[in-house]
């Protein structure tokens, strides 16, 4: 019986401390775009080796936003804080 409760406690602990993470990576137009959700944040990061570029993320709940800009060979970073179950829109662009 004690082993059952210990196992149940370990399983419950494991599921309560793991943060929600959902991330994607795409390779548009010769760049690398990484975006998604992690530990109370939504982010959009874009790297391009030859062009000045941007990344942005916008809350679908309250329109809070962040925009990053970077020259070629650098990464642009955009991050916002989000609440539980809050959704965001992710973007990238370049000149």
Q: Are 91 and 55 contacting, i.e. CB atoms less than 8 angstroms apart?
A: yes
43 occurs within a structural domain: yes
Say whether pTM exceeds 0.85.
no
29 occurs within a structural domain: yes
61 occurs within a structural domain: yes
10 occurs within a structural domain: no
20: closest CA among 34, 35, 37, 36? 37
Does the pLDDT of residue 3 top 80, yes or no?
no
Q: How far apart are CA 50 and CA 65, in angstroms?
A: 26
Give the total number of structural domains in the chain.
1
Any idea what the CATH number is for the domain that residue 43 is in? 2.60.40.2850
Parallel, antiparallel, or unpaired: how do β-strands 41-48 and 75-81 relate? antiparallel
pLDDT in tens, 38-88: 999 999 999 999 999 999 999 999 999 999 999 999 999 999 999 999 999
12 occurs within a structural domain: no
Q: Residue 81: its pLDDT value, please?
A: 98
Q: Residue 21: its pLDDT value, please?
A: 86
């Amino acid at each position: 019986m004690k082993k059952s409760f210990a196992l149940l406690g370990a399983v419950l602990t494991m599921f309560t401390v793991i943060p929600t993470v959902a991330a994607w990576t795409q390779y548009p137009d010769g760049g690398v775009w990484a975006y998604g959700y992690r530990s109370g944040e939504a982010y959009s990061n874009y790297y391009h080796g030859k062009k000045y570029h941007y990344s942005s993320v916008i809350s679908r709940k309250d329109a809070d936003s962040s925009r990053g800009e970077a020259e070629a060979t650098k990464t642009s970073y955009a991050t916002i804080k989000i609440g539980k179950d809050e959704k965001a829109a992710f973007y990238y662009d370049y000149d």
